[in-house]
Amino acid sequence: MADSNLMEGRDAIPGGSFGEGSNPPDIGSDKRDRVGGYLKLVIIAASTWAAAVLLSFLARTVPGFAESYASVIYPLFIRTVGRIIGLLPFSVAEVLLYILVIYVIDLIIRCVSRLFLGRFAFDAAVVFIVRLAAATGIIALVFTVFCGINYHRNTFARNAGLTAAPSSVDELAALYVSLAEDINEDANSVVRDGEGIFDIGMSLKECNKACVTAMKELGQQMNSLGGFYPQPKSVMAWQLLSYQNVTGVYSPFTVEANYNGNIPAFTLPFTICHELSHLKGYMREDEANFIGWLSCASSDEAWLRYSGNLTAFITVGNALYEADSEAWSQVWTQLCPSAKADIQSSNDYWKRFEGKAAETHERVNNAYLKANGQSDGVKSYGKMVDLMLAWRRKSAGA
């Protein structure tokens, strides 16, 4: 019995026989698996970046490609991805941004600690670069598919049959007068707080639904604005947006229209409609501003009309002041006191957030707009006035 146990134990000692039917461990298998994993990441990085660059090239150079994409393919993402993410009551883009920040901070800490502990190997650096290339490739492709191509579609002016042409100061002044009259007419029909300042008079959820309805009603007149709209969402960290002078932002990665729910109330409906216009593939800021104004101004609801017209009144007023300050002054005196109080309240709000953050954001946004084909950068916002004048001429049958 003892001899039998000794024999069994002998076969089990290191360096002995592995037994019948067993194979020695493949020492290089783990390394091959790792290399295979890295190769997959390289393929992902190369294919996603190549697809993003190719699609961008086609959108910029092939006539009709971007418009066909925006009209046929892109709406499918709105009805699927946008519909699913829209069911969640919070901004998914905002949550993902927080997760990304935490991940990046953790990654930096681990890299720095390894460096100081002498564990930062060359192969680890290669792995990091390959993973980064794959991740950024995916991000670039998603951005291109959900947003980038749309920058090169037909302009909204073209699709709506509008001709933006040079206008006289008299035309600009007439538009300013018309807006003042519409504002004065609705000023006493809107809800106001205890200090006499405009209030939407409802929850943000109700406001969201009303703005979506306004956009859908406009879509009945203009096919490119019709169809399904995901619900817009207010971000939690509104302070971060206010310090950057940002009222809203479209997230192409989650197909969401996000907005700053703390901005002056009269600008809120206009801002929501502006962001919703991006969901229809109109990425240019001047066009989004125009659509935001038109959807509000065309509504049967006085508070929506007031929001669109008063926001546009400020933009048109700035343009008229530069062209003819005396004409601007004459119209300004015609504006009712309650509307002037709303404008002053807005000015006071934004003064609280003046600083380097707002200046930095403007420079970054300017570079972003130019990179996506808006050669005027942030100045493209002012082209809203040209579209309003074109709409006015078209409506008058000129």
Position 289, amino acid = N
Domain co-membership, 174 together with 142: no
Q: Is residue 107 domain-resident?
A: yes
* pLDDT for the residue numbered 113: 74
Domain co-membership, 143 together with 164: no
Q: Is residue 36 domain-resident?
A: yes
Query: Phi and psi at residue 123, in whole multiples of 5°?
Result: -65, -35
* pLDDT for the residue numbered 11: 43
Last residue of a domain, one of 94, 128, 152: 152
* pLDDT for the residue numbered 377: 39
Last residue of a domain, one of 152, 174, 192: 152
* pLDDT for the residue numbered 32: 63
Domain co-membership, 285 together with 365: yes
Record the pTM.
0.83
Mean pLDDT, contiguous 10-residue spans, the chain (398 residues): 44 44 56 69 93 97 96 96 95 94 84 66 72 91 95 94 86 95 97 96 96 97 94 95 93 95 97 97 94 97 98 94 93 96 96 70 50 45 84 83
Residue 110's domain spans which residues? 29-152
The set of residues, in sequence order, having a beta carbon less than 8 Å from that of 200 and lying 6+ positions away, is: 191, 207, 265, 268, 269, 303
If one counts the domains in the chain, the total is: 2
Contact indicator for 211, 276 with CB cutoff of 8 Å: yes
Last residue of a domain, one of 125, 152, 179: 152
Q: Is residue 10 domain-resident?
A: no
Q: How far is CA 133 from CA 11, 93, 147, in A?
A: 50, 21, 20
Q: Is residue 363 domain-resident?
A: yes
* pLDDT for the residue numbered 381: 39
Tell me the per-residue pLDDT of 333-348, one tens digit each, with 9 for 90 and over: 999 999 999 999 999 9
Domain co-membership, 84 together with 180: no
Domain co-membership, 184 together with 231: yes
Domain co-membership, 49 together with 114: yes
Tell me the per-residue pLDDT of 235-261, one tens digit each, with 9 for 90 and over: 999 999 999 899 999 999 999 999 999
Domain co-membership, 148 together with 177: no
Domain co-membership, 284 together with 256: yes
* pLDDT for the residue numbered 373: 53
Domain co-membership, 250 together with 312: yes
Q: Is residue 18 domain-resident?
A: no
The set of residues, in sequence order, having a beta carbon less than 8 Å from that of 180 and lying 6+ positions away, is: 313, 331, 334, 335
* pLDDT for the residue numbered 106: 85
Round to whole Å and give the CA distance between 146 and 78: 9
* pLDDT for the residue numbered 317: 94
